[in-house]
Amino acid sequence: MNLTIENIVLVGSVLLFVSIIAGKTSYRFGVPVLLLFLAIGMLAGSEGIGGINFNDPQIAQFIGLVSLNFILFSGGLDTNWNAIKPVLREGLALSTLGVLLTALSLGTFVYFVTDFTIYESMLLGSIVSSTDAAAVFSILRSKSLALKTNLRPTLELESGSNDPMAYVLTIASLTLVMNQDQNVLSVIPLLLQQMILGGIAGFLFGKLSKLIINRIKLDFEGLYPVLVISLMFITFSATNTIGGNGFLAIYICAVYLGNQDLIHKKTILKIYDGLAWLMQIVLFLTLGLLVFPSQVVPYIGIGLLISIFLILVARPIGVFLSLMFFKMKMRRRFYISWVGLRGAVPIVFATYPLLAGIEKADVIFNIVFFISVTSVLIQGTTLSIVAKWLHVALPEKAKKLTATDLLMTENPKAEMREILVTKDCYAVDKKIVDLGFPKNAIIAMIIRDNNYITPNGSTQIEADDTLVVLADKAQAFEEVNKTLQIT
């Protein structure tokens, strides 16, 4: 079936509906939901029962880039700076040196077991060198897996920040494949430029975005998430325009914004959580439609060999060598090695050789697709089991309420107090967003002249207001009183 203007909305909505319903029950059988989305796309494709004829890598790449923007930005917004700060060095080592070592070791292996040239081998290694943010975020969070000693922040920081390194390595390797007389050292300036400009641009756009969100006055609350979407795309495209890495920029921008006081922050977080899931579904469905299963079958043998080497050798090499200068228990290193999930990102990166028209582009795409599927299937289904084997999992009852959980769910078991704002209080005539309120407490309601007001970041505190404050623990109210300067 060919997609037309008349049926594209119907087909798309049906596929979306089927994916959501199927995903609801997928974990009952231990199947990662992202893999299910991919399978539905393949079933709907030209060689499946749907018969949808879709074979356009350029459109697939565009959808992939847009989707990754939302997925990385959402992951950044949900990243607690206080949680990742203690593991910042480990996370950055994994997302840079770890990715490079994984690409080099896997590329070397591919060179010896295939007829690829050294540059083609390194291209394949680069494409699958990073862990996939969509896979890691969705699987860890949907399983509600509680891990010991900052292990989860390390994994999420790595997966959210290592795609830029893999992207740069992919572009650099592709350049060498297309210009084999070019010196390998010539791509180092490109790598440094992408990472440095991307990091600086992300931080600057984060500060600018906070200023715009809190200072601009929009008539409707629903426009604030739209404003953030526009700022996200501006950050990505502007950074790419000046030669920086847009993926790194939007992740850093999102991490900064997620840890600041923003007007209508709760609404923005909820909208982005839903958009991230939508983009994951759309991305995996699109990549499923792009794949021709009959073309993947001939490469199952070599694909399985490369995938096993990646999981059992290349990924551990990258992890153990990049973390060798940090104090960390061996079982934690082994678990980080196992959570080397490959998902949609490598498949999106594999469209670059297709569009460049290099000789082995189809072979690389099909092998990368198989590697991604086996990674999610093997590693994604065993995260909880391996965590228990290595004794890095916490009992469910030991999980602690985080500030994000409090903000998103307003847990009924949280501590609640009413605080009277006197005339000489610091908060009088100030907006909530400007108070610097503690992260583990929120103003849930304001009682003013016997009226109940549901506040947002732009709400101005007045004298004689009674603030209904929720906090995750009683000690947090000491910080609240200091902030409000109440004795």
Question: Per-domain residue ranges for the chain?
Answer: 8-398, 403-484
Residue pair 370/302 in contact (Cβ under 8 Å)? The answer is no
Q: How confident is the prediction for the chain on average, in pLDDT?
A: 82
DSSP state of 434: G
Instruction: Tell me if residue 452 falls in helix, strand or coil.
Output: strand
Q: Cα–Cα distance between 42 and 288 in angstroms, integer?
A: 4
Residue 364 has pLDDT above 80, yes or no: yes
**pLDDT class of 110 with cuts at 50, 70, 90:** very high
Element (H, E) at 172: helix 163-178
Pick the closest to residue 107 from 76, 81, 131, 128 (CA basis): 128
DSSP state of 31: -
Task: Decide if 8-398 and 403-484 have a common fold.
Answer: no
**pLDDT tens column, 119-138:** 999 999 999 998 876 667 66
Residue pair 102/165 in contact (Cβ under 8 Å)? The answer is no
Contacts 24+ apart (CB under 8 A), 399-406: 399/144, 399/146, 401/472, 402/80, 402/83, 402/472, 403/80, 403/439, 403/440, 403/472, 404/78, 404/80, 404/269, 405/472, 406/440, 406/441, 406/442, 406/470, 406/471, 406/472
**pLDDT tens column, 75-84:** 888 887 877 8
Q: Cα–Cα distance between 1 and 59 in angstroms, integer?
A: 18
For 403-484, CATH number?
3.30.70.1450
Q: Report how far apart, in Å, the C-alpha atoms of 215 and of each of 207, 223, 262 are.
A: 12, 14, 10
> Which of 16-20, 142-146, 338-342 comes out lowest in average pLDDT?
142-146
User: If you search the block for the tokens 């939901």, which residue do you land on?
Assistant: 33
Q: Cα–Cα distance between 312 and 309 in angstroms, integer?
A: 5
Q: Can you give the pLDDT at residue 38? A: 81
**pLDDT tens column, 236-258:** 999 999 989 898 899 999 999 98
In CATH terms, the fold of domain 8-398 is Na+/H+ antiporter like fold (1.20.1530)
Residue pair 207/256 in contact (Cβ under 8 Å)? The answer is yes
Cβ contacts of 424 within 8 Å, gap of 6 or more: none
The three state secondary structure string of 182-221 is: CCHHHHHHHHHHHHHHHHHHHHHHHHHHHHHHHHCCCCCC
Give percent above pLDDT 90 in the chain.
27
**pLDDT class of 312 with cuts at 50, 70, 90:** very high
- Count each helix (H run) and each strand (E run) in the chain, helices first: 24, 4
Q: Can you give the pLDDT at residue 343? A: 77
Neighbours of 256 (CB within 10 A): 21
**pLDDT tens column, 421-447:** 888 788 888 888 788 777 778 888 888
